[in-house]
Amino acid sequence: MHFVAPQVIVKAVDGVSFSIRSRETFGLVGESGSGKTVTCRSILRLIHPPGEIVAGSIRYQNRELQNRELLTMPGSDFDRIRGREISMIFQDPMTALNPVLRIGNQILETLSKDDKASRQERTERAIQLMKMVGIPAPERRLREFPHQFSGGMRQRVMIAIALSRGPHLLLADEPTTAIDVTIQDQILKLLMRLQRELGMSMLFVTHDLGIVAQTCDTVAVMYAGRIVEQAATMTLFKAPHHPYTLGLIASVPSARSAGERLQPIPGSPPNLAHVPEGCRFHPRCAYASDECRQGEFPLREISPEHLSACIKDVR
Amino acid sequence: MRRFNYIVVRLLQLIPVALGITIVLFFLIRSIPGDPAQIRLGIHATAEAVANLRARMGLDQPLWTQYLFFLRDLASLDLGNSFMYDSPVGQLIGQRFPITLFLVFYATVISVVLTVPMAIWSALRKDRLADQMIRGGFVLALGMPQFWVGILLLMIFSVRIGIFPVSGYGDTFADHFYYLFLPAFTLGLSQAAMLVRSLRSDVIDVLGADYVDFARAKGLRERMVLMKHILRNALIPTVTILGLNVGYLVGGTVVVERVFAIPGMGMLMLDAIFARDYAVVQGATLVFAGIVVIINIATDLTYSFLDPRVTL
Amino acid sequence: MSTPLVTAEHTGLRGMLRSASGGRSILRRNPALVVGGVLVLVMGLVAVFSNQIAPYDPIAQDWNNILQAPNAQHLLGTDNFGRDVLSRIISATPLDLQVGVLSVLFPFLIGIVVGMLSGYYGGIVDNVIMRLVDVVIAFPFMVLIIAIIAVMGPGLQNAVIAITVASWIIYARIIRGEILVAKNLEYVMAAKTLGYGNLRIMAIHILPNVITPAIVFAAVDVVLNILVASSLGFLGLGVQPPQAEWGALISSGRGFMTTGWWISTFPGIAIVIAGVGFALLADGLADLLRPGGFKS
């Protein structure tokens, strides 16, 4: 029998605001628990109770749909957004495919919604999709179950399903984190090629700055449920402004820094039930002073198209 | 072919269990004080018949030889004679067995019909009022003895309102459904009380699974997500629990048959116990164990159909 | 610069985290434990002081007051011999609780020892024990108990023995499963490296870490055993008259469905109260003993 337990309300994401342009790859980077996955999932309303979206706005537009608000859209309309306008691939290909349904079934179940195509035509389309993501012998593999696929192949299947209805925006939640390092690069290249060919936009969530540098046009760095810095990828790597971004870059091994000691950021991210007063990063920040402990620090434009939440100029 | 191998291996695994069951039964009845031949034939048997059987059972031989004789009789489907009914035990069981089997399947269907929607509703409304009510209700049902529930149902629906018969099981197949509804409901309810808890937590696990969110993300309607992705995956553990609990359900038929005066195997066994007709007790116990073993194999097979990952 | 395809603005996305701290009362934190504990405690007290509490002599027949519906004198009515139903229920309490608890104790101990041996040594020991478990499980629970009682004869002691034979396997399975996991954990490896004997490792290092699920099941098992004990009483295979027993009380009212519904109904409610008490206690224990503390 259940009785209500004492609860603490946690704001997983607070005051996060960004825009993704057409055909752009937008990176959302941060440590685990920084709110990047929650942000990504909330766009498709995939937040589980007891979590809930209490306020905010997500606007979407393309040629047919002018500036639609996604958060308050009725469920029946939202079904038309999911998969067809905005689609998503998940972190773990082992768990994101239904283990008891054949791969073909999982690809076809959404295709049947859009057109009145015959069974034959739809199967053709599924085979074509599997070829597109580079799965060999698609005719045979359509009849197999997920556990008969390797991790990399499952990730390809997931991409094929996510792209099956031609979405304009793909949300990629750490798409390479859970697969073998040797396969990661193949998947990244596949995603970048498909984005280019299909003319999609992409929201790329990752904790790996190396992947960001490789794939993204624009990056937002998240810390403790907030965006602390946002800029074009080149700008961010060449001229990072926020001490947290500096720390992240210093802690990544790169060709340039080979031989140097890696600098981990001291401390650990705050418990979101008890965020520190003032700048959320100040307890871990080498440059923190008294003023950092007071007040809210919104993003400000430090140069055109470059936003930072740090009030100092630490460079 | 793979499934065929699976069945063969499962049947092979059955051999030690089947032997174990016969050993338990052999020694159980042997531990009754008195002459086994006399026990098997009953107290009214003639001295000559007893002497004949003594020789045939090899009672002067070592115990393991006697056990082999017992197995030989079993193999030829000879379960001995009932003195109470003055007929072979196998024949008696043959008459009673279908009634009990019908009751078991009927009760299983009712327990699934009660469990699945309730557990899903409870899981979808986790921690809300509906969930608390369902869980509370089934904790209550868990504490209710079957025979008491049966008597209450009889008092209310058969005696007071009079919409169900007080006893018996009807003549035609359709009649069975009507006559055996209250008994099957009694059994199904206590079974459901054990199932709802675990199915609810299984559904909650499935609800949080990535593949459910992925199904939503690709634009599947909520009803389809529920029917195709959630229900199907939640049914797999349900089948397993059903299989694990089948012994409890089958055992319950003994009590429920007594309450509703249904002439099934349980009734046969109880009457035999009070009449000290041990050949019948032994035979009935053997068949009861057989029902459980066979249902368990059926469960495993169903499981292998539902979950493609199952291999040996 | 092209127009944005997507603009997202989150001013508040929140999740709830449950916190185990907070210094709230135990009633708020684990109400199942408290409510279940109180119910079981009250039942226990009724059992211990049954002679003092019962308003009437449970076996005294009163031919002027047969089949009285519940009233001020007889709160739960009287039976066909004019005996007070409430007093009979109270006088049966110690017996049913005794069977319920005793027939958990022995299977618990046997199952833990056998399960530990099976899980720890593995190999042939494990194989033999597990085949034995398979055999016992093949018999429907109630059928095996009834068959044993048919051979041994009815009564309190034999009921406990029969239930023990039928239910030790569950504890053995639970403990075996836990040990299979635990024996490869580091602290056990460490103890082995230090050269401790198997018995010492099992009793001191493994057992305290694996016993929780068995304890939780034991509380649920009391419920099942009370149901079994009363079912045996109902079938006439349990405790014999003139001793009052809940199941037998219910059975005695079967002939009076139209004239005395209370005779069968109220003893059943006593069973339900005891059952719910132990079921809640099991839930509460599961919560309390689970590391980290809170259920999903």
Q: Is the pLDDT of residue C169 over 90?
A: yes
How do residues C43-82 score in pLDDT, each as one tens digit?
Answer: 999 999 988 888 888 888 888 888 888 888 888 888 888 8
- Collapsing DSSP to helix, strand or coil, A231 comes out as strand
B137 close contact with C: CB closer than 8 A: no
Cβ neighbours of A48 (radius 10 Å) = 13
d(CA B72, CA B51): 19
- The shortest CB-CB distance from B24 to any of C135, C146, C268 is to C135
Which ipTM did the prediction report?
0.88
Are the beta carbons of B135 and A96 separated by less than 8 Å? no
Check CB contact of C258 with chain B, cutoff 8 Å. yes
Model pLDDT, residue A262: 67
Q: Cβ separation of B251 and C253 shorter than 8 Å?
A: no
- The shortest C-alpha distance from B139 to chain C (Å) reads 6
Which residue of A8, A52, A169 is in closest CB contact with C6? A169
Using CB atoms, pick whichever of A17, A43, A51 lies closest to residue C16.
A51
How large is the average pLDDT for residues A242-270? 75
Burial class (CB in 10 A: 0-12, 13-18, 19+), C18: middle
Residues of A in contact with C280 (CB under 8 A): 1
Angle at B279 between CA B276 and CA B284, to 5 degrees: 100
**Does B206 score more than 80 pLDDT?**
yes
Q: Is the pLDDT of residue C295 over 60?
A: no
* Contacts with B291 from chain C: Cβ below 8 Å: 140
The partner residue sitting opposite B21, judged by closest CB among C138, C235, C265, is C138
**Nearest residue to C102 (alpha-carbon basis) of C38, C159, C143, C39:** C159
The string of pLDDT tens digits covering residues B26-61 is 888 888 877 777 777 777 778 888 888 888 777 778
Residue A264: the pLDDT is 76
C163 with C227: CB under 8 angstroms?
no
The reported pLDDT for the residue numbered A286 is 83
DSSP E strands in chain A: the ranges are 7-13, 16-21, 25-29, 52-60, 68-69, 86-89, 169-173, 201-206, 218-223, 226-232, 300-303, 306-308
Residues of chain A with C-beta less than 8 angstroms from the C-beta of B214: 88, 90, 96-97, 158, 161
Tokens (6 digits) for B170: 């009807």
Task: Output the pTM of the full model.
Answer: 0.82
Residue C279: closest CA among chain A residues belongs to which residue?
Answer: A1
Cα–Cα distance measured from residue A244 to residue A220, given in angstroms and rounded to the nearest whole number: 12
pLDDT digits (tens, 9 = 90+) for A173-205: 988 887 888 888 899 999 999 999 998 999 999
Q: Is the per-residue pLDDT at B190 higher than 50?
A: yes
> Which residues contact residue B220 at a Cβ distance below 8 angstroms, ignoring those fewer than 6 apart?
A83, A109, A110, A113, B228, B229
Residue A79 to residue B229, Cβ atoms within 8 A: no
- Characterize the bridge pairing of strands A7-13 and A226-232: unpaired
Instruction: Report residue B156 as tokens.
Output: 């209310």
